Amino acid sequence: MGGTNIVAGVLDDDYKIISKADVKTAAPRPESEICDSMVAAAVKALAKANITTDDIECVGIGVPGAVNKDTGIVEYSANLGFHNWKIVKMMTERLGKPVYIENDANCAAYGEYLAGAAKGARNAVVITLGTGVGGGIIINGEIYSGSNYAGAEMGHMVIVKDGKECACGRKGCWEAYASATGLIELTKEAVQKENPLNSYILKSVNGDIKKITGVTAFSAKKAGDKTGARVVDDYISYLACGLVNTINIFQPDVLCIGGGISREGENLLGPVMKIIEKERYTKHNNKQTKVCIASLGNDAGVVGAAFLKK
């Protein structure tokens, strides 16, 4: 479950997605309505696979925020506004199957570890760049979620003291700068400083600043627009700052970058790596963290969630 979409998938024992379906999250709205939408997505996915709930073993759900997998409660989700949401109880009642929950970024990390770019690694970190900045940590093949199930929230480490206000209430969080939302805001701020008549970016969205997305600045840079290039360069510096912090703290075998913005591929990874190679603490070590684009894309969370039962 993401800030924009709810995606459901049916998977087999070999981590293969048989079918998928999605609906809009449309948050904020009551928890019961969100549960109904998740059921609707699941039913659509099952229908595409020509099976019913009788044919599935269990259900796994990835949710943003502090997710207590032992109690089945989403204790807090900053971007979606949930507090103490009894999601397992509500979804078990609706589906009649065992339900397991985990933080969405942890699910993505687990998916990449099981069947993606981090397969074969002992220790891995996956960063997802979406509505927020999610983080998932795998240590010795296990999801690390901390003593209170709120671990791996790397998006809420401060990279700019007294900087932009984040949805969590702090100022200067990495998420406020390196998420897709942060990139959109950086782009809008740059456009508002331009002469509207000469703005390539504004023209590219037909004059409607509300249509700016996470790919707008990258597209403008590719077209040779100087404002787009400045926005992308600023964004990459913020992203790399948090990535270097993450590498310095965890020193994982692999660090994967996922989420919508990761689809920029080498246009994102190339300049990010130049900064990482210059600034990481271990630049003189023989062994370095492998930094790569997550190979499962937006499917990583679906794969990881489906295999939460152990």
Is the distance from CB of 153 to CB of 249 less than 8 angstroms?
no
Question: What's the whole-number average pLDDT of the chain?
Answer: 94
- pTM here? 0.85
Q: Partners of 11 in the beta sheet?
A: 17
Give yes or no: residues 99 and 155 share one domain: no
Q: Which two tokens stand for residue 9?
A: 């998938």
Has residue 127 got a pLDDT over 90? yes
- Which residue range is the domain that position 196 belongs to? 119-294
pLDDT digits (tens, 9 = 90+) for 47-95: 999 999 999 999 999 998 889 999 999 998 876 888 999 999 999 999 9
> What is the number of structural domains in the chain?
2
Cβ neighbour number for residue 297 with a 10 Å cutoff: 15
- 304's enclosing H/E stretch is helix 300-306
pLDDT digits (tens, 9 = 90+) for 252-286: 999 999 988 999 999 999 999 999 999 999 999 99
Residue 89 resides in a domain:
yes
Residue 114 resides in a domain:
no
Phi, psi torsion values for 12, nearest 5 degrees: -95, -175
Give the per-residue pLDDT at 226: 96
Give yes or no: residues 20 and 135 share one domain: no
Give yes or no: residues 174 and 250 share one domain: yes
Q: How far apart are CA 300 and CA 11, in angstroms?
A: 12
Q: How far apart are CA 4 and CA 197, in angstroms?
A: 32
CATH number for the domain harbouring residue 61:
3.30.420.40
